[in-house]
Structure 1
Amino acid sequence: MNRKPLILDVDGTFLRTDMLYESFWSAMGRAPVQALKTLVLNISDRAKLKAEMAALAECRVDLMPVAPQVVDLAAQASAQGHEVILASASDASLVNALAKHHGVSDRVFASDGVTNLKGQEKADALVAAFGARGFHYAGNEAADLPVWREADDAIIVGSVPNAREELEAKGHSVTELAGGWSWASLIKAMRPHQYVKNILLLLPIVAAHNFGLSAFLPVLLAMVSFSAAASCIYLVNDLLDIDADRMHPTKCRRPFASGALPLRVGMIAVIALAVIALGVAICLNAAFLGVVVLYMVLSLAYSLKLKRMRWVDIATLASLYTIRVVAGAAAAEVYVTGYMLVFIFPVFVTLGCVKRLTELTLATSDERLPGRGYGRPDRSDLLNVAGLGMFGSLLVFFLYTFTDQARSLYPTQWLLWVAMLPIGGWLFRMVSLGYKGKQDYDPIVFAMRDRHGISLIIFTLTLMFYAAGLFQNAFGF
């Protein structure tokens, strides 16, 4: 290899991400209305769109994930005396900052708000600067073909169909480096393990003692809809939280934060999952569709703003859990009592506090968590609110036992009072483990894996089913 400069594309080559999409999601997190307005007004002018979006955003180029194989290539080239230059279709303000941070040449080629430096435009700019065959170039997509044709050596990152054959036929030396993404990364980002939360949709038919297929099958479809809706929102949340995740000790390994999954792929998945969620909901009934829309809107509001507001975030989390119960009732078309909703809401307030307690206990400093309104000094306040939630839920449960509906559904009233003991024990266990940092970051997911906690839940259900006479009717005892 001679001393010709090594030109590195940025998006998908030097970086395992795309600066335009990074800018968009950063801007969405800061000023969503203005970000969407900027997108709509400049969608046909890519160069202007990139410049205005970069100005609106607060991108942390120091946190953006790099491709290690390309970084190694750049280090080798630099050691051999080659100038390493970044050339990107991203806006010049971001590319200059990136070059400065990584210590490559301060001479960069990038879009300037007027010219979108991509494809043939980039090829022409590099030829004007270095001459035909006067540089080596690393890229990652078919849009880089005009540049490779003008380069001396071509470095292909990832898979570009037919590119190697075409370039070698024209006498280019071609090097291929690993790149791209996997479906496993997309599935991981969708967090299918979180679907266990949708077991909450079964609560209304269990409480109503309606175990027929006419109620059960619609709830199963509803769980599919909610799973798609939840994954859709998880992807949006991760896209909005990408910088905070990169600064987190464990969340930095999430697919978007680590660069394992391109932001563009995630955005396509968001649209597809939203279509699935709403399409299934339409097939059930209007009431359930309304609940799904409410869930998605509230979840989006949580991701954009509410999760950064102290106490409002916990109330919102509790509401999102409660909405799942309402969704189950709407899908099965069964009546859900006000007592049930008033009982489960403080339960979920307690679990929301547990979620924050776990995060704070596992935090490495007393600073506020990135993107959250809490720091370690808030643990005592969260513990107090969790205690109030426990007391409130048990009080509502106790009052429910004296209602006409409770007497009708549960003839053996005293067993309901006994059931309060394992309910209280389970809630106390959840709070205690969260305070000690011995939980997952999501209490519902942890609860479904916690053998001791599951035993308490099963014991509670057994007492309630016996109080209702279900075991006697089914088994004759």
Structure 2
Amino acid sequence: MSQTKVHVKLDGWGARPVPLRFLALMRPRQWTKNLLVFAALIFSIRQANMAMLGQALAGFVLFCLVSSCVYVLNDFVDRERDRMHPEKKYRPLASGAIHPQTALLFGFVLLACCLLLAFRFQFAFGCVLSVYFAVNVLYSLKLKHVVIIDLIIVASGFVLRAVGGGLVIGVPLTPWFLLCTMLLALFLAIGKRRHELALMQSGSGSHRKVLESYSMEMLNQMSVVVTTATIMSYALFTFTAGHTIHLMWTLIFVLYGLFRYLYLIHMEGKGGRPEKLLLEDKHILLTVVLYGFSVVCILLFL
């Protein structure tokens, strides 16, 4: 109990309003991952209208809230191990700012409301959202401790986001795009594991048991395979997606973004929080903006 009080004092949670504590529990910074819901809308820009934009926005909000329910459950399960992590020990549950049972009740009510709205909005989308939550529950309770499977489960969450984004606006996504999404998510997950393994070897991040089954050499080899496959899959997507062949010019942004991320992982020791790098690294942020802008312009005018 004394350790929990120290964490609260260090992070200043005791002086913060309760709504801010629950907002932090929902991890709004990680909502950037759900921007993938808009992918189908972007690649269907010629047929897009305000109704489709509204549907995509609704899907994005629901994915954000359901993903927050996953984070609540994950923090509840990992609260003891998180207290040994140099950064995660300041999370609301690990620090003691929110009572565990209160957080669990909050997550359950939020999830029930979101799934009810999702099924009323569109049955297929509600099913995808339910599968997304169920898979992540399995991940939080068991699968995150299974080597390699833990990476695949993380990547599958991004594929479900992309599929959900297509369902809410009634646009099917090509297999090549879904494969690109899966591989890119694997690329980010491998980079995150590598960062966590580096922390564990330095003695400051030994809270994740599955890291004992990985090595730097193994993760580096996996990264090479996935990076190569991502580039090849995206190149094939630009030629086979049924859009203009000029989409191939956006490959330069994909190449630079991947290589920049590898630079940050290997040379600067980053990669533990991909959503943080997206917002804080100006090179990657600018690359994402230019990529999105170029895709829209090519699809509209070429």
Per the normalisation by structure 1, the TM-score is 0.57
- 2:106 corresponds in structure 1 to 269
Aligned residue among 133, 152, 164 for 1:327: 164
User: Secondary structure of the equivalent of 2:270?
Assistant: coil
Aligned 8 A contact 1:368 1:376 in 2: no
Shift of 1:275: 1.7
Q: 5 Å matches for 1:70-469? A: 182-209=18-45, 210-363=47-200, 365=202, 369-375=206-212, 378-403=215-240, 405-406=241-242, 409-410=243-244, 413=245, 415-436=246-267, 438-439=269-270, 441-468=272-299
Aligned 8 A contact 1:246 1:258 in 2: yes
Q: Structure 1: any 5+ residue segments left out of the alignment?
A: 1-14, 17-63, 69-177, 473-477
Shift of 1:458: 2.8
Aligned 8 A contact 2:83 2:89 in 1: yes
Deviation string, structure 1 residues 184-226 (Cα, Å, up to 9, x no partner): 2221111112112111100011112243112111111111211
Larger Rg: 1
- 2:11 corresponds in structure 1 to none
| Partners of 1:65 and 1:401 in 2: CA distance | 52
| Partners of 1:440 and 1:401 in 2: CA distance | 27
Deviation string, structure 1 residues 3-56 (Cα, Å, up to 9, x no partner): xxxxxxxxxxxx48xxxxxxxxxxxxxxxxxxxxxxxxxxxxxxxxxxxxxxxx
Deviation string, structure 1 residues 334-372 (Cα, Å, up to 9, x no partner): 111111101211111101111112222344536983233
Give the helix-richer structure, 1 or 2: 2
| Partners of 1:275 and 1:313 in 2: CA distance | 26
| Partners of 1:267 and 1:284 in 2: CA distance | 26
| Partners of 2:116 and 2:175 in 1: CA distance | 29
Shift of 1:416: 3.0
Aligned 8 A contact 2:37 2:60 in 1: yes
| Partners of 1:402 and 1:231 in 2: CA distance | 36
User: What amino acid maps onto 1:187 in structure 2?
Assistant: L
Shift of 1:430: 1.4
User: Secondary structure of the equivalent of 1:310?
Assistant: coil
User: What amino acid maps onto 1:365 in structure 2?
Assistant: S
User: What amino acid maps onto 1:240 in structure 2?
Assistant: V
Change (3 A) 1:65 1:211: same
Bigger relative contact order, structure 1 or 2 (CA pairs below 8 A, ≥6 apart): 2
Deviation string, structure 1 residues 110-159 (Cα, Å, up to 9, x no partner): xxxxxxxxxxxxxxxxxxxxxxxxxxxxxxxxxxxxxxxxxxxxxxxxxx
User: Secondary structure of the equivalent of 2:210?
Assistant: coil
Aligned 8 A contact 2:264 2:271 in 1: no
Shift of 1:471: 4.0
Shift of 1:397: 2.0
Shift of 1:234: 0.4
Change (3 A) 1:311 1:437: farther
Change (3 A) 1:243 1:211: same
| Partners of 1:258 and 1:297 in 2: CA distance | 27
- 1:65 corresponds in structure 2 to 4
Shift of 1:261: 1.0
Change (3 A) 1:327 1:454: same
Aligned 8 A contact 1:203 1:325 in 2: yes
Change (3 A) 1:189 1:313: same
User: What amino acid maps onto 2:234 in structure 1?
Assistant: F
User: What amino acid maps onto 1:288 in structure 2?
Assistant: F
Aligned 8 A contact 1:236 1:303 in 2: yes
Deviation string, structure 1 residues 257-292 (Cα, Å, up to 9, x no partner): 111111122022111211222122023111100000
| Partners of 1:428 and 1:375 in 2: CA distance | 27
User: What amino acid maps onto 1:417 in structure 2?
Assistant: M
Runs (4+) off by over 6 Å: 178-181
State percent identity of aligned pairs.
24
| Partners of 2:108 and 2:213 in 1: CA distance | 37
| Partners of 1:384 and 1:244 in 2: CA distance | 28
Does 305-314 or 449-458 show the bigger shift? 449-458
User: What amino acid maps onto 1:65 in structure 2?
Assistant: T
| Partners of 1:440 and 1:323 in 2: CA distance | 23
Deviation string, structure 1 residues 427-460 (Cα, Å, up to 9, x no partner): 1211231234543632134214422112222333
